[in-house]
Chain A
Amino acid sequence: MSYVAVVDDEEQVRKALTRLLLASGLDAESYACGKDFLGAIAKRVPDCVLLDLHMPGMTGLDVLHELRRSRRTLPAVVITAHNEPEAREECLAAGAVAYLCKPLDDRVLLNTISASMRRASGGHAIPGER
């Protein structure tokens, strides 16, 4: 079963997205900030991460930079409640596989996660993917 991490400082959003992923047959874990997530990946590396862009302290972009610094090739889907074209370019340049605006439609979100995991695994089927 694929494991997806959700990093968002908004508790309501974090909870709802985690629920949606679980309901869709994926394993999911949520984190309230970038630091908690980066600390957790030492123990268990997710197959994909949903990363909120605007978080106090460490932003989603900071997390992407940190992942790149630590040479982790983890597919990251950036999600944001405030769409900015420049931010999109920055995130994609920093290694994000997709940039989605909230509110998130389940089909778009699940297809994006599925596609990014497929790309990361070199086109092989993802365990647990339906």
Chain B
Amino acid sequence: MPNADTPHLRPDLHPDLPKDQIERVQKILEQVLTYLRSQSCKLPPEADLALTYDLQPEVDR
């Protein structure tokens, strides 16, 4: 049974996908979103988005 708070693929809308593939990605997404949300809810309001240029800082040794 999919977690109500996690977006899930409906097998009836995706008859082209094997059920086991749907279950596999569902399980992974539930696990990942649950953990992400448990951590992101602790973020302070001033924490803003990472932009690509944030990934290239010169770091002092």
Tell whether A and B belong to one assembly: no
Q: Which residues of B contact A (CB under 8 A)?
A: none
